[in-house]
Amino acid sequence: MSADPSVPPAALSGEVSLPEKLAGVELVRSVRTPIRLEYDFIPGDASSGYLNAFADRKILGQRSPVDGAVFVPPRGVDPRHGAATPDYVELPDTGHVGGFCVTRLPIPGRDDLEIPYVSAWIHLDGADIGFLGLVGGIDTAQVRMGMRVRAVWKPDDQLGRTAENILYWEPTGEPDVPVTAAGTNAWHAKQAEGDQG
């Protein structure tokens, strides 16, 4: 082996020589080895509770046993502390936009989604983290952090055990949540209040 790393090994520096009987045969330049594996995904206890509740037009979160923070969707654990979260909390279908993005590129397979569309972190009233949703019923240029929204549900006869029951989130017309208390700031604002109280 050469001590100089910029000099390729001898085996790679010369011409490739083949046995005579392989002379003229086209070299293999690549092979295709397709892989396909199928899985039956199991949502688990917490997510099952969450998805089942959607069929009844309910949104469930879970409460941290450590400091009472409410997580939605629930994962069965407060990930900050590794503590199990067995207690469900029913949340209203109202909240505010904690952050948003206007997208002008189509998503493959989502022909139903008109562009531009607005995806947003929806912070439900009573929840301490946001979850993802679409914002509709408003001009994209008017969407703002802190804007109050409510869920627009599919008709009752189309409800399933899925978060897709919520078509999008529309403005309620209520006064905005101040940006200093919107989104992830909400948790910090609440903690500061608690410290003062």
Partner 1 sequence: MRDIAVVSVAQHQEKALTHTTEVELMVPLINQARGAVGLTQDDIGFTCSGSSDFLAGQAFSFVHTLDAVGAVPPISESHVEMDGAWALYEAWVKLQIGAVDTALVYSYGKSSPGSLRDVLSTQLDPYYLGPLWPDAFAMAGLQARIMLESGAVSEQRLAEIAVRSLNGAAENPLAVRSSAAATVDHVLAEAPIADPLRPSDCAASADGGVAVVLAAGDRARELCDRPAWIKGIDHRIDPHQPGVRDLTRAPSAHKAAAQAGAGDDRLDAAELAAPFTTQEHILEVELGLVPETAVNASGGALAGHTMMAAGLMRIADAAQQIHDGRADRVLGHAASGLYLQQNLVCVMEGE
Query: Would you tell me which residues interact with partner 1 (CB under 8 A)?
Result: 31, 33, 35, 37-48, 75-84
Check if the beta carbon of residue 72 is closer than 8 Å to that of residue 127: yes
Q: Nearer to partner 1 by C-beta: 46 or 120?
A: 46
Distance CA 192, CA 172 (A): 27
Least spacing, CB of residue 10 vs partner 1, in Å? 24
Q: Nearest approach, Cβ of 34 to partner 1 (angstroms)?
A: 8
Nearer residue to partner 1 within complex by CB, 40 or 111? 40
CB 81 → partner 1: shortest distance, Å?
4
Residues with Cβ within 8 Å of residue 55, at least 6 apart in sequence: 159, 160, 161, 165
Euclidean distance between CA atoms 126 and 45, whole angstroms: 22
Q: How far is the CB of 32 from partner 1 (least distance, A)?
A: 9
User: Are 80 and 191 within 8 A, CB to CB?
Assistant: no
| Closer Cβ to partner 1, 67 or 176, answer by number | 67
Give 48 or 185: the residue with its C-beta nearer to partner 1: 48
Query: Distance between CA 152 and CA 165 in Å, rounded?
Result: 9
